[in-house]
Amino acid sequence: MSSIRPQIVRDLVRRVLTDHLHRVPDLSESFLIRNGHYCGYRFSYEQISAIWFAEEAEVKFYDESGAIIQVVDLSEGESLKQAA
């Protein structure tokens, strides 16, 4: 399981979307459950989604068609420092 806290990921998602949208989005979020166990988060704003699986060190951003529009590698310390 990842040692990255959900608040760090939430802040990173908000920062990335703010950079793209030029405004602070009002995110909705939900837990991701696999086989009855917590495995990550889904963040959404309008037609854009960001998925973070706790066992992966990345957040994937998707457009309304489901195409990946950006991947942020959480193993790169700089991404996490900027989000904090």
Residue-range definition of the domain harbouring residue 28: 6-83
| Residue 1 resides in a domain | no
Which residues, in sequence order, are CB contacts of 80 under 8 Å at separation 6+? 4, 8, 12, 74
Paired strand residues for 51:
42, 60
Could you read off the pLDDT of 73-83 as tens digits, one per residue?
Answer: 988 764 554 54
| Residue 21 resides in a domain | yes
Could you read off the pLDDT of 6-54 as tens digits, one per residue?
Answer: 899 999 999 999 998 888 889 999 999 999 999 999 999 998 999 998 8
* CA–CA dist 81, 71 (Å, integer): 17
What integer pLDDT is reported at residue 24 of this predicted model?
87
What integer pLDDT is reported at residue 2 of this predicted model?
59
Structure tokens at 48: 């854009």
What integer pLDDT is reported at residue 84 of this predicted model?
45
| Residue 15 resides in a domain | yes
Structural domains counted in the chain: 1
CA 74 → CA 8, 23, 35, 84, distances in Å?
A: 10, 23, 25, 12
Residue 70 sits at the vertex; the CA angle it makes with 63 and 38, to the nearest 5 degrees, is 80
Rounded to an integer, the average pLDDT of 51-58 is 89
| Residue 18 resides in a domain | yes
For residues 55 and 2, the model is more confident at 55
